[in-house]
Amino acid sequence: MRRAGRTTALLVVLGAVLAVLGTGTAQAAGYRYWSFWEVSGSGWAYATQGPSLVRPDDGSVQGFRFSVSADSQDSAKPRRSPDFSKICAHVPAQDGTKRVALVIDPGTAADAPEGETPPPPRTACAQVPKDASSAEALASVAKPLRYGSDALLCAITGYPATGCGEQVSGNGDSGRQASADASAPTSASAAAGSGGSGGGPSAGVLVGVGAVLLLGIAAVAQARRRRG
Query: What does the pLDDT read at residue 147?
Result: 93
Predicted confidence band at 6 (pLDDT cuts at 50, 70, 90)?
Answer: low
- Taking only the tens place, the pLDDT of each residue in 179-191 is 333 334 544 444 3
Indicate the pairing of strand 97-105 with strand 60-69: parallel
> Picking from 22-26, 49-53, 74-78, which range would have the lowest pLDDT averaged per residue?
22-26
Query: What does the pLDDT read at residue 71?
Result: 80
Query: What does the pLDDT read at residue 115?
Result: 95
Handedness of CA 41, 45, 49, 51 (dihedral sign): positive
Indicate the pairing of strand 122-129 with strand 146-147: unpaired
Would you say residue 148 has pLDDT above 50?
A: yes
Query: What does the pLDDT read at residue 224?
Result: 56
Query: What does the pLDDT read at residue 216?
Result: 53
pLDDT, greater one: 171 or 226: 226
Average confidence score pLDDT of the chain:
76
Exposed, middle or buried by CB within 10 Å (0-12, 13-18, 19+), for 163? middle
| pTM (two decimals) | 0.67
- Taking only the tens place, the pLDDT of each residue in 93-140 is 999 999 999 999 999 999 999 999 999 999 999 999 999 999 999 999
For residue 64, CA distances in Å to 46, 103, 157 come to 10, 6, 12
Would you say residue 28 has pLDDT above 70?
A: no
